[in-house]
Structure 1
Amino acid sequence: MKQVLLLVVCLAGFLSGCQRNETGSDIRHAFEKAQAGQPLRCVFLGGSITQAGDGWVGDWLRTQFPKSNVSIVNSGMSATGSALGIFRVERDVIAYQPDLVAIEYCVNDGGLTDEEAIRFMETLIVRLKQLPHPPAILILEAAAKGGVNLDRHRRVARHYQLLEVDLQQAVESRIKQTGEPWETYFSDNVHPNQTGNALYAEAIAQTLTPYVPKAGTGSLSKEKSTLPPPLSRKPLLLDGRLIPLTNFATNWKREGSLPFWYDRFFLGALTTDQPGATLNLSLKGSIFGVYYAMDKSYGTFFASVDEALPVHISPNDRGGYSYTLLAQDLTPGEHRVQVVLPSKMTDPKVSTINGAVKLGYLLVAGESQSSSAIAARGPFPPERLARLQYQPLPPTQWSWSGPYIPASKTEENKPTPKDALNYLHEIFPPEENPASISWKKIELDEDMRLDFRKLTGSNVPAIAYATTEIQSDEARDATLAFACDYYAKVWLNGTLILTLDHPHGSPQRPLLIPTHLQKGTNRLLIKTGAGSGGFLFSAGLWKD
């Protein structure tokens, strides 16, 4: 009896082990089919690195599998990461019935939190692996001059035993071997030039070569389909999609195409330039966003879900396109997405707030878990947003002090960019006793931002402070608009109302903070820190 029991336990352990594959077994299975003459449909999903790479190994694959009809689909989309990838995977990957999907998002996911990077990458992998004919998946770890945070994506890849291509190591090894500079292979810190793309193609091919079956190896292996439990604490977003806005019947105009190269990423656009124009759409889900065109001639818009605190989106600081997630991890159910153009601005300094807006898609996920319950509405209905006026707080209204670094930093122990975040939580004199500081006035008003790099003449990672007074003829609510590059704390009348000590998206996009102004004088104190690059902020008030 004991022998039978031992045999059952051993057999159970064996079968359990069989549920998991060796790393890259899905690649080997796809290649076996291609060698036998079946089609090999390859889709490359990623950002601008993928977009410029144009498949990298298409010719190599055709050489390896002459009997197969090898097709390459380049679904690279510049300036995007996995946060958009989970919504466009249906249109840009699954629609092509892939046998092999290569995913490159390490670089563009650099601004995500660890939780987001793992959740979004895992969502892509599980959704693809749950297809009726699951493709093989290859993870491409692109290189960057300062290195890339590979840990998050690697953790997911190894959890699902997916093959990885370490392109950072390939580049560093080649540079060490040849003594050539970074610029031999790259046009900037992350984008390979022609020589660099050739190196990428070589490295990918070398990684894939051991998985090409030798001629006459026999019948096809059988790939196991059981997936391990997910790593993510939050639910995976396995039904994300892009919903074209041009099919909705509204009083906005439909534009069939955009006169730019990136028109291929759109299906036309829904557009208006009328101040106060509103778009209200009800949809099931738990996460919502909006995808839009950008141009310096455009205006701005508010977007929110369930009349909650909106996001003020400015698609006019550059050309191209972008996307913004408006709400995440809502209770799955019926929600209302609203877009509102601001009222006509009376202050000419902020006239760029008004102008045309061109929307391409809504981003929606979580429908499959949704009930028919309608979410409660918040305090920002469309009619309120449509009447708000913006009062800028230009640099000439501010006084400043800085830069500050801890006394522990010496010539031998110089500040590094990573120190800026730690400095944010240290207390310096302007925060401890503002009245003791000889604040410096700002004389010029060249734009609406306070640039501490210019004011201090220093590029050293540091902290700076600024303060101003806001007069109000009555006690009332207001909404502070604050944009910062990159870390910050904000106090109003001595109360801390904002702490930015985490990734918060583009420093060009203002965050909206509900506040209460007391009658008379209100003091605003800003503490900002930056390790490298920008060291600036802008602020203003949205008033009813």
Structure 2
Amino acid sequence: MQIHCILTAMVIAAPIIVAQAAQTSTNLPPELADPSVPAVECRPRNGLPNFFAKASQGGEVRIAYLGGSITAQEGWRPKTLKWFQEQYPQAKISQINAAIGGTGSDLGVFRLEQDVLQHKPDLLFVEFAVNDGGASPAQIYRCMEGIVRQTWKALPSTDICFVYTLAGNMIQTLQEGKFPRSASAMDRLADYYGIPTIHMGVEVARLEKNGQLIFKGNLPKTDAEKAALGDKIVFSPDAVHPFPETGHKLYLEAVIRSMALIKAAGRKGPHKLGEPFVADNWEAAKLVPLDKASMSGNWQKLDPAKDRLAKNFQNRLPQLWKATPPDATLRFRFRGIAAGVYDLLGPDCGQLQVTVDQQPPRKVLRFDSYCTYHRLGQFMAAHGLAPQVHEVKIETISDPPDKAKILAQRNEKINDPKRFEGLNWYAGYLMLIGELVE
């Protein structure tokens, strides 16, 4: 099997510094505003020398996996963990599973401390290229740089590796010899910081182009189906989430090939933070308990011992509050540049009215086409604000969304009307870049 990796990318020297270190995400040069990076499976850059040194010595070693549903699967995450454990039997290697389906770096940067850094990882894998597929490069720079700078500010010896997966038409872009836009933006940032990167989908794209892989299909069950398939690999059922026994095996193999190259790169030592890539990055992103804000109207703190949702999501939202219309309101004032809420979406959820300062109110849906079940979510009330005091008001409203129409976008139906009753809002944290003020 070919190793798609440019050896000359094995940079041990300090990462390249961009011309204007004071640039912000709103005044980027064209090559950063719309980046396009050549498709290469591995760019070792400054490697993972601290991790490899510690694993070789033995003792406790922790690997954190921060990402979305592809990382949450029983796939490349447990497969690579097992491989590392086999390579370094003298070490006690464990994982920090910080993957949440359907979320991107815009939530990851806020939950990083709670879900990752407090557990003190030695290696941090970051996987958001698919879920950040619809985000602008500017947004990706802000969030991904926030993850990097938070990590190295708190744990300067922790090594970071960006890993990229693929979905949908991203495979065509790879077959044209380029990274998709989200991975291109992440790779620009990785180049600035000397962070190694692995695109686990490069080999997948090559195999599909050569007729050796079916990107979306069903695994064969009968002998006849297996014979018809021949030597071809069925990658995934949905062009997103690989089958553990096929697609995730290819992802594992990409990591193994890349680690042979990454291991030879870099020198052990703490990571030092210089000028930021974009001055308005979200390094200061943090979670604040929801009850630090002012609550009025119909609010209920859910007890994990009695409430199913509170129990199911206790790991991520230790406190879960339920608000019901028409009069449940959340108010807070903060000095900073961005604010949002870490919450749930689900069948019995509705919509909110959000007002920031004197701006016109806007509606925010907490129900979408995936809401046949409850899942973690988030929304920004505002970002890109002037660094001064702002006032945020969030209200539950009685105006119901057309749930049947929304579900029909994915051919889902309201098969149990009682489950979809209600216009509730479930929330656990404020997301702030700034500080609450009285």
Whole-angstrom distance in 1 between the partners of 2:268 and 2:249: 34
Whole-angstrom distance in 2 between the partners of 1:262 and 1:222: 38
Contact 2:145 2:189 in 1 (8 A): yes
Whether 1:355 and 2:388 are equivalent positions in the alignment is no
Aligned partner of 1:158 in structure 2 is 191
Whether 1:276 and 2:331 are equivalent positions in the alignment is no
Which amino acid in the other structure matches residue 327 of structure 1?
Answer: A
Aligned partner of 2:7 in structure 1 is none
Whole-angstrom distance in 1 between the partners of 2:46 and 2:332: 44
Secondary structure of the 2:261 match is helix
Aligned partner of 2:97 in structure 1 is 74
Whole-angstrom distance in 2 between the partners of 1:223 and 1:20: 15
- Per the TM alignment, residue 254 of structure 1 is displaced from its structure 2 partner at its CA by 0.4
1:408-427 to 2 correspondences below 5 Å = none
- Per the TM alignment, residue 360 of structure 1 is displaced from its structure 2 partner at its CA by 1.8
Secondary structure of the 1:243 match is strand
Of the three residues 138, 141, 148, the one matched with 1:125 is 148
Whole-angstrom distance in 1 between the partners of 2:242 and 2:259: 20
Whether 1:108 and 2:127 are equivalent positions in the alignment is no
Secondary structure of the 1:316 match is coil
TM-score normalized with structure 2 length:
0.71
Whole-angstrom distance in 1 between the partners of 2:271 and 2:389: 34
- Per the TM alignment, residue 80 of structure 1 is displaced from its structure 2 partner at its CA by 0.7
Which amino acid in the other structure matches residue 125 of structure 1?
Answer: V
- Per the TM alignment, residue 244 of structure 1 is displaced from its structure 2 partner at its CA by 2.5
Contact 2:44 2:261 in 1 (8 A): no
Whole-angstrom distance in 1 between the partners of 2:55 and 2:386: 44
- Per the TM alignment, residue 264 of structure 1 is displaced from its structure 2 partner at its CA by 3.5
Q: Which has the higher contact order (CA 8 A, sep 6+)?
A: 2
Whole-angstrom distance in 2 between the partners of 1:248 and 1:25: 43
Write 1 or 2 for the structure with the bigger share of strand.
1
- Per the TM alignment, residue 249 of structure 1 is displaced from its structure 2 partner at its CA by 7.3
Aligned partner of 1:435 in structure 2 is none
Whether 1:225 and 2:271 are equivalent positions in the alignment is yes
Whole-angstrom distance in 1 between the partners of 2:294 and 2:381: 22
- Per the TM alignment, residue 333 of structure 1 is displaced from its structure 2 partner at its CA by 3.6
- Per the TM alignment, residue 211 of structure 1 is displaced from its structure 2 partner at its CA by 4.0
Which amino acid in the other structure matches residue 67 of structure 2?
Answer: G
Contact 1:311 1:326 in 2 (8 A): no
- Per the TM alignment, residue 92 of structure 1 is displaced from its structure 2 partner at its CA by 1.0
Contact 1:31 1:213 in 2 (8 A): no
Whether 1:35 and 2:56 are equivalent positions in the alignment is yes
Whether 1:241 and 2:286 are equivalent positions in the alignment is yes
- Per the TM alignment, residue 296 of structure 1 is displaced from its structure 2 partner at its CA by 2.4
Whole-angstrom distance in 2 between the partners of 1:271 and 1:263: 14
Secondary structure of the 1:326 match is strand
- Per the TM alignment, residue 343 of structure 1 is displaced from its structure 2 partner at its CA by 5.5
- Per the TM alignment, residue 246 of structure 1 is displaced from its structure 2 partner at its CA by 4.9
Whole-angstrom distance in 1 between the partners of 2:421 and 2:326: 10
Using a 3 Å threshold, how does the CA distance of structure 1 residues 24 and 360 change in structure 2: closer, same or farther?
Answer: same
Whether 1:167 and 2:200 are equivalent positions in the alignment is yes
Whether 1:292 and 2:337 are equivalent positions in the alignment is no
Whether 1:57 and 2:103 are equivalent positions in the alignment is no
Using a 3 Å threshold, how does the CA distance of structure 1 residues 286 and 245 change in structure 2: closer, same or farther?
Answer: same
Aligned partner of 1:379 in structure 2 is none
TM-score normalized with structure 1 length:
0.58
- Per the TM alignment, residue 202 of structure 1 is displaced from its structure 2 partner at its CA by 1.7
Using a 3 Å threshold, how does the CA distance of structure 1 residues 297 and 263 change in structure 2: closer, same or farther?
Answer: same
Whole-angstrom distance in 2 between the partners of 1:362 and 1:124: 18
Contact 1:299 1:353 in 2 (8 A): no
Secondary structure of the 1:69 match is strand
Whether 1:332 and 2:387 are equivalent positions in the alignment is yes
- How many equivalent residue pairs? 344
Aligned partner of 2:240 in structure 1 is 190
Using a 3 Å threshold, how does the CA distance of structure 1 residues 204 and 23 change in structure 2: closer, same or farther?
Answer: closer
Secondary structure of the 1:25 match is coil
Structure 2: runs of 5 or more not aligned: 1-11, 17-42, 171-179, 217-233, 406-419
Aligned partner of 1:508 in structure 2 is none
Using a 3 Å threshold, how does the CA distance of structure 1 residues 273 and 297 change in structure 2: closer, same or farther?
Answer: same
Identity %: 25
1:101-500 to 2 correspondences below 5 Å = 101-147=124-170, 148-149=180-181, 150-175=183-208, 179-183=212-216, 184-194=234-244, 195-212=246-263, 221-223=267-269, 225-232=271-278, 234-246=279-291, 250-251=295-296, 252-257=299-304, 259-260=308-309, 261-262=312-313, 264-317=315-368, 318=371, 319=373, 320-342=375-397, 355-367=423-435
Secondary structure of the 1:181 match is strand
Contact 1:175 1:181 in 2 (8 A): yes
- Per the TM alignment, residue 222 of structure 1 is displaced from its structure 2 partner at its CA by 3.4
Contact 2:68 2:99 in 1 (8 A): yes
- Per the TM alignment, residue 263 of structure 1 is displaced from its structure 2 partner at its CA by 5.1
Which amino acid in the other structure matches residue 256 of structure 1?
Answer: D
Task: State the superposition RMSD in angstroms.
Answer: 3.1
Whole-angstrom distance in 2 between the partners of 1:343 and 1:192: 40
- Per the TM alignment, residue 182 of structure 1 is displaced from its structure 2 partner at its CA by 1.3
Using a 3 Å threshold, how does the CA distance of structure 1 residues 239 and 231 change in structure 2: closer, same or farther?
Answer: closer
Bigger radius of gyration among the two: 1
Contact 1:56 1:200 in 2 (8 A): no
Contact 2:61 2:122 in 1 (8 A): yes
- Per the TM alignment, residue 208 of structure 1 is displaced from its structure 2 partner at its CA by 1.0
